[in-house]
Structure 1
Amino acid sequence: MSLSNPLPARISAIGSYVPSHILSNADLEKMVETNDEWIVQRTGMRERRIAAPDQFTSHLCIAAVQNMLDRYPEALSGVELIIVTTHTPDLPSTPVSCMVQAHFGLPAVGTYDLNATCAGFAYALHTASGLIAAGLHRKILVVGGDSMSKITDYTDRSTCILFGDGAGAVVVEREDERPAFLAHHFGSDGSGGKHVYRTGLASQWQDIPLTGNGKLVQNGREVYKFAVSTVPDGIEQLLAKSGLSQTAIDWFVPHSANLRIIQSICEKSEIPFEKALYSLEYYGNTSAASIPLALDLGVKEGKVQTGDTLLLYGFGAGLTHAGIILRWG
């Protein structure tokens, strides 16, 4: 897809939510062998928000949508479909999207959940814009949320310092006059699935025994290598498809996995680090929520303005990755 054929859709509303409870680096020092300086130097993280014991992904997603409604009162009017991207649903068999629909009482609305882990929000935006471009829907609610604390092993110092909980919501709707979805690039490397996972019905990946007992297991070194090699190449392809240069990108919004990863991607892609929006410093790695949380922080801080060109890029377990270039507003 090129700039001459953008998809006739735009993001018209945004909202976000993080739980009130803060887990600081000082708190983690009391739990595992680590310290604030080590965590900040290696991840850029200072705090994370943690859901209450009786607070789950559906609650986070509903709160994010409510935040959006408080700011854009007509946001849900005419919504025909709800897509929630998460890999930490409340229940295995009841979609979080159905819980969102029930809470807001939206009539005759389709719902489904999408799991592409930390790349999920970009995948969901791509799905929504594609369905709208195909003429199947005119207005879609997209929500990215994860309760990472529910699957984090707080005895594993290599992973427990990283993750937090949160959700972000946007409305994607038809826009024929000024189409806003300019380019996309998606990919995966299923052979790397053994590097980030949590066990479920199966306790092995192909012929490799898995550990973790339902908690997240991550090989950080391999994930780092995947991200800093794959994402810059994906960005190059995105720019080529859109006909844009790095200088045309107003804001780069990557998955907030680790500040070192973001810095390396920016350097390799020749995107000034000052253009990167991230949510990890005070929210941690919130998986599918990290991109919308960072984007909404940019909106609230007055950085992201109508007409700005954004490059969003998610990457994570699977291994999956997904990038989108779009105009804001």
Structure 2
Amino acid sequence: MKIRSVVRGVGHYLPARVVENGEFEATLDTSDEWIRARTGIERRHFAAEGETTSQLAIKAAQAALEDAGIPADRIDAIVVATSTPDFTFPSVATMVQAGLGSTHGFAYDVQAVCAGFVYALANANGLIVSGQAERVLVIGAETFSRIMDWTDRGTCVLFGDGAGALVLEAAEGSGTNSDRGVLSTDLHSDGRYRELLYVDGGVSTTGVAGHLRMQGNAVFKHAVQKLAETAHTALDKIGMSGEDVDWIVPHQANLRIISATAERMQVPMERVVLTVQDHGNTSAASIPLALSVGKQRGQIKTGDLLVTEAIGGGLAWGSVVLRW
């Protein structure tokens, strides 16, 4: 027998304000057609003034706990993936813990930008299989609208705000790839590529949050290669291939990246969960958002084999294979 981290519940939250592509036409040299053709994005959600990352995370967490039928005081650990915390400290995770009314267990943040949720999921799996926690709430939450340069048409049209959450619980499995739960993980980073995607501010540099900067073409090339490689590696670890995959649930950055990665994995687009058109790039929130929406749509069902993969600033990238 082997301990597995099984998904018991999933949920998400999106801010009320929906921003269609057309809104950018008034202030930027861009158009709805230009944005759709290059990214696949049609709209995104922006947090309201005063609405914080921790507030989005709490609402997503509440939805996931309700879906799992598990009260907050039975959660042993909360791991939040975010690059846009409310404050320098305390962590968003401890604020979520307080917001859920829980005084049990421990909570902390993980920062790997758009790869954050994959890192957090791998981290949560480690807590469970090592026996440090029986139930872990894993959240991706972002308010990237706070770090946009609204004069840069190459970046500000890409990102949105939101949060998604999973409840993981320890369960006994057979140790084979037919088990439910996390089956394999694969994480990577290479700090030499910092200049490709970064924020030009911070506590020990400028003292202010700064704005997102990106070399889009270079990021695209790295993304397609590295995402396909990490997904293949994670599948290889359990003796499986793209043919065995029911759903790819990718980081929702750009439809062209998603399509190219699926092609390299030899998985048809009919087996890819897509939310980028409605949410834009929500960084660490995008995979849990897509998991929650995919379940709501009736796409993701118990027993399905899923591959999640993501790449973000760092560069940091990785993948997780799990059976729903």
Query: How much has 1:227 moved relative to structure 2?
Result: 0.3
Query: How much has 1:278 moved relative to structure 2?
Result: 2.5
User: What residue identity is the alignment partner of 2:133?
Assistant: H
Aligned length: 317
Query: How much has 1:247 moved relative to structure 2?
Result: 1.4
Residue 182, structure 1, aligned to residue 183, structure 2 = yes
Shift of the 6–27 alpha-carbon distance from structure 1 to 2, 3 Å rule, reads farther
Q: Counterpart of 1:93 in 2: which secondary structure?
A: coil
Residue 50, structure 1, aligned to residue 52, structure 2 = no
Counterparts of 1:83-232 in structure 2 under 5 Å? Answer: 83-177=79-173, 178-198=179-199, 199-203=201-205, 214-232=210-228
Tell me, in whole angstroms, the C-alpha distance in 2 between the residues paired with 1:190 and 1:266. Answer: 26
Shift of the 313–265 alpha-carbon distance from structure 1 to 2, 3 Å rule, reads same
TM-score, normalised via structure 1 length: 0.93
Tell me, in whole angstroms, the C-alpha distance in 2 between the residues paired with 1:98 and 1:309. Answer: 32
Residue 285, structure 1, aligned to residue 281, structure 2 = yes
Q: Deviations over 1:92-126 (max 9, x none)?
A: 01111111111111122201111011111111111
Structure 1 equivalent of residue 37 of structure 2: 41
User: What residue identity is the alignment partner of 2:214?
Assistant: Q
Q: Counterpart of 1:105 in 2: which secondary structure?
A: coil
Counterparts of 1:199-278 in structure 2 under 5 Å? Answer: 199-203=201-205, 214-278=210-274
Tell me, in whole angstroms, the C-alpha distance in 1 between the residues paired with 2:232 and 2:106. Answer: 35
Shift of the 62–236 alpha-carbon distance from structure 1 to 2, 3 Å rule, reads same
Q: Deviations over 1:51-77 (max 9, x none)?
A: 011001001101111222443442535
Tell me, in whole angstroms, the C-alpha distance in 2 between the residues paired with 1:203 and 1:77. Answer: 39
Shift of the 324–267 alpha-carbon distance from structure 1 to 2, 3 Å rule, reads same
Tell me, in whole angstroms, the C-alpha distance in 2 between the residues paired with 1:180 and 1:195. Answer: 34
TM-score, normalised via structure 2 length: 0.94
Q: Counterpart of 2:321 in 1: which secondary structure?
A: strand
Query: How much has 1:203 moved relative to structure 2?
Result: 4.6
Runs of 4+ in structure 1 deviating by more than 6 angstroms, as ranges, are none
2:297 corresponds, among 289, 298, 301, to 301
Q: Aligned Cα RMSD in Å?
A: 1.6
Tell me, in whole angstroms, the C-alpha distance in 2 between the residues paired with 1:103 and 1:298. Answer: 26
Structure 1 gap segments, 5+ residues each: 205-211
User: What residue identity is the alignment partner of 1:196?
Assistant: L
Q: Counterpart of 1:176 in 2: which secondary structure?
A: strand
Q: Counterpart of 1:184 in 2: which secondary structure?
A: strand
